[in-house]
Every structure is written in C-alpha cells, then in structure tokens.
Amino acid sequence: MIRHNGHPVLRHHFDSVVASRNETTGLVRMHKGKKTDRIDGAVASAMAVSRAVAGESNKSHYSDPNFKSLADLMEEAA
C-alpha cells in the first residue's frame, strides 16, 4: 500500500492501474485499464519506492570529484 494523503490526481492514477503477472518471469507489470487512462504518477511512485527499498543513494553524479562535465571534456580537447 502506498500512502498519498488522498491527492486527487495520484488517486486517479492509482485507480487506473491494472496489474498483471508474467507467467514466465513472475514479474508484475503495471498498465492502463483503458487507453485514455493516466498512470504516470503511480508508476513514478512505484519506481521511487523500489529505489528506496533497494537503498540506492540519492547523491548526484555532479558531487563526484571525478565527474567530468561536457565543458570539462571540451576544454581538455582544446
């Protein structure tokens, strides 16, 4: 269960989700019940929960001292 404090758009997105399990892999997939439904918020929420459970860092690549931006690479090439 995902708690969203009754946000109307997010509630609509979750209400529009249909879940199905792939018989071969066992993976569960979220898809629209109708072609006109919107489920973007529900999918984004599921992705965020997945990352949180996996313990992925939210550090930016830009905070890595070895990260080179496009400007850095162009400067080196010049």
Q: Is the pTM of this model over 0.85?
A: no
Compute the Cα dihedral for 29, 33, 34, 38 and give only its sign. negative
Give the separation between CA 58 and CA 48, rounded to whole angstroms: 11
- Report if residue 23 sits inside a domain: yes
Q: How many domains does the chain have?
A: 1
> Which residues constitute the domain of residue 35?
1-56
pLDDT in tens, 10-42: 999 999 999 999 999 999 999 999 999 999 999
- Report if residue 21 sits inside a domain: yes
Whether 23 and 29 have beta carbons less than 8 Å apart is answered as no
Strands (E), the chain: 17-21, 28-32
Give the separation between CA 57 and CA 55, rounded to whole angstroms: 6
- Report if residue 35 sits inside a domain: yes
- Report if residue 66 sits inside a domain: no
